[in-house]
A and B are shown apart, each in its own frame.
Chain A
Amino acid sequence: MKPIAAILGVGCTKVGEHWERSLLDLAIEACEKALEDAGNPPVRALYVGNAASELMNEQGNISALLADALALDGVKAVEVRAGDASGSLAIHQACLDASFSRGQEGAILVCGVEKMTDVMAPEVARIQMLFEDSRSTFHSGVTIHGLCALLTSLYMSTYGVSYEDIVLLAVNDHKNAANNPYAQYPFPITVETVLSSPLVADPIRLFDTAGIGDGAAAIVLKGPEGARSSSDTPVAVLASEVATDKVNICEREDLLALRSLRLAAGKALGRAGVGLDKLSFIELHNTTSVIGILSLEALGLAEPGKGVDLLKEGAVAIGGRWPVNTMGGLKGRGHPWGATGVYQVVEAVWQLRDEAGKNQVDGAEIGLTSNMCGLGSISCVHVLARWEVVA
Chain B
Amino acid sequence: MSVPKFWREIPHKYRLVGSRCRSCGAIYHPRRPICPRCGSRDMEDVKLSHRGRLLAFTVIRRAPSDMADLRPYVVGLIELEDGVKVLSQVVDCDPAELKPGLELEATLRRIRVHGPAGVIEYGYKFRPVIKWEAETGEGQ
Contact = CB atoms under 8 A, between A and B. Distances in A.
Interface of B: 9, 12-13, 28-30, 36, 55-68, 70, 73, 75, 77, 84-89, 95, 100, 111-112, 123-124
Given A139-B111, A143-B64, A200-B62, A251 B28 contact: yes
A138 B75 contact: no
Contact of B61 (A136, A138, A150, A200): A200
A251 B35 CA distance: 12
B58 A126 contact: no
A122 B62 contact: yes
Contact of B56 (A120, A139, A153): A153
Interface in A239-258: 246, 250-251
Interface of A: 120-123, 125-126, 129, 133, 135-143, 145-146, 149-150, 153-154, 157, 198-204, 246, 250-251
Contacts of B57: 150, 153
Given A129-B64, A138-B111, A140-B87, 5 more contacts: A125-B62, A135-B12, A150-B56, A153-B57, A250-B86
A208 to B, nearest CB: 12
Nearest to A121: B62
13 contacts: A121-B62, A136-B87, A137-B87, A139-B123, A140-B87, A142-B75, A145-B60, A146-B58, A199-B61, A200-B62, A201-B58, A201-B60, A251-B28
B77 A250 contact: yes
B111 A122 contact: no
Contact of A123 (B36, B65, B87, B88): B65
Contact of A125 (B13, B64, B73, B100): B64
Contacts of A139: 13, 87-88, 111, 123-124
Nearest to B88: A140
A141 B62 CA distance: 11
Contact of A122 (B28, B65, B89, B112): B65
A143 B63 CA distance: 7
Given A140-B75, A141-B67, A141-B75, A146 B60 contact: yes
